[in-house]
Each structure stands twice: as C-alpha cells, then as structure tokens.
Amino acid sequence: MQIACVLYPRFTALDIIGPFQTLVDLRGVDTVFVAEVAGPVPDHTGRCHLVATHTFAELSAPDVVVVPGGMADQTATAEDPVVAWLRTVHPSTTWTTSVCTGAIYLGLAGILNGLDATTHWAAYDRLGQLGAVPIAERVVRRGKVITAAGVSAGIDMGLLLAAELAGERAAHGVQLAIEYDPQPPFDCGAPWKVPAELRARVAAALGGS
C-alpha cells in the first residue's frame, strides 16, 4: 500500500509530519514524499526543507494521499500542479486526505463539491467558496475523503487513518510509540477558547479571513 505525502513550496512542516509519523511504521505501507519536482522543498518559513523523493509524474496510483496546508493555497488556482495531480489520482485512491488548508487544494480539484469538510479555522470561508460545507470539527470523514483542522490536527487524523489501514490494535501501538498523551500547557488551541483580540491577531498574521 502506497501512501503519498504531498509537498509544495510554502507547505507547513507539522501538517505533513504529523500524519507521516502515525503511518510510516505500519506494516506493509510504502510512504513517500511527492512533489512537482524531486529534491528539497522549502516550507512556509523557508527554514525547513523536506526532500521529495518522487515527482507527481512518477506517482500515478497512490492508495492514500495526504495534502498538508501551508501559506501558498491563498493564491493557488485550479491549474496548480498539486490540484492537477489530485484530479488525476483521486478517482483511484482508497483515501484522499488533507490537513489544515490542504483542504483548499482538494476543493480546487472539485473533490469537496457539496461535501462536509474542515480546514484551519481561519479558512472556513474560503473552503465554503470552493463548494464544500465547512464544519468546525477536528476531523471530518465523508466516504473516502478525510479532512483535518489546522496543523496539529493531522496527528489525530493520522491515528484514525492508521486504524482504518491496519486495525485499531496497530493504531493503539502507534499512539503509545509516539507517546501521544497530549498535555498542552495552555488552553488556546481553538478559536472559541480565546479572546476575539487574539483570534483577530492570529488570523491577520496568517492572512486568513
């Protein structure tokens, strides 16, 4: 079973490394990083470079696709290489998934038409404009499409996906191996948990709505 972790310039690193870490050690999976061009791909900070080992052209039938969010989706169009590739491979995937604003690429590819989906909280409106029905949940699963909320939500989604791919017993083992027993030191992880001022400040910094 092949799992394709998508990269593109200005992706967000944790968006893709979260799911990657929950899936890569499962038995029988072949996890690869794929991008338009092989080689190092810079994240949205320009500080982190992850290496794509495969090109979109080389990867024509992945079983699972994971699309991270980042800071490039706001100007992405239906002609974006990620979007074009998604249109080609989605019909034959077992699971097509996104984290954060990775959902925007799914939307641009026409995969979310009329479908419940989630994304980063600052991008609900944009997701709706692409035909999806934005839902403020951590992980939204509809048929073979799974979308996760912002950045860190990819870990929660990854564990769900691990259970689908390899069974709950295997997923429990992954959770224990990565010691995922979260204890955030603050309680500011959702927009409805913080003052409007903080919400506005972060949305502005992200260039979101």
Q: Supply the residues annotated as catalytic.
A: 100
In whole angstroms, the minimum distance from the beta carbon of 87 to a second copy comes to: 26
Terminal CA-to-CA distance of the chain, rounded, Å? 38
| Number of residues lying near a second copy (CB under 8 A) | 64
Please select the residue that binds a second copy; options are 68, 156, 165, 166, rule is CB under 8 A. 156
In whole angstroms, the minimum distance from the beta carbon of 32 to a second copy comes to: 7
Rounded Cα gap, residues 101 and 122, in angstroms: 9
Encoding tokens for residue 145? 């499409």
Q: Tell me if 152 sits within 8 A of 139, measured CB to CB.
A: no
Give residue 50's Cα distance to chain centre: 15
Return the beta strands (E) in the chain as ranges. 2-6, 30-35, 39-42, 49-52, 54-55, 64-67, 95-99, 116-117, 133-134, 139-142, 145-148
74 near a second copy, rule: CB under 8 A: no
Q: Which stretch binds a second copy (CB under 8 A): 27-35, 57-65, 89-97, 127-135?
A: 27-35
Footprint of a second copy on this chain (CB under 8 A)?
12-14, 17-18, 20-21, 24-25, 31-33, 40, 45, 47-51, 53, 100, 120-121, 138-139, 149-153, 155-156, 159-160, 163, 168-169, 171-173, 175-186, 188-191, 193-194, 198-199, 201-202, 205-206
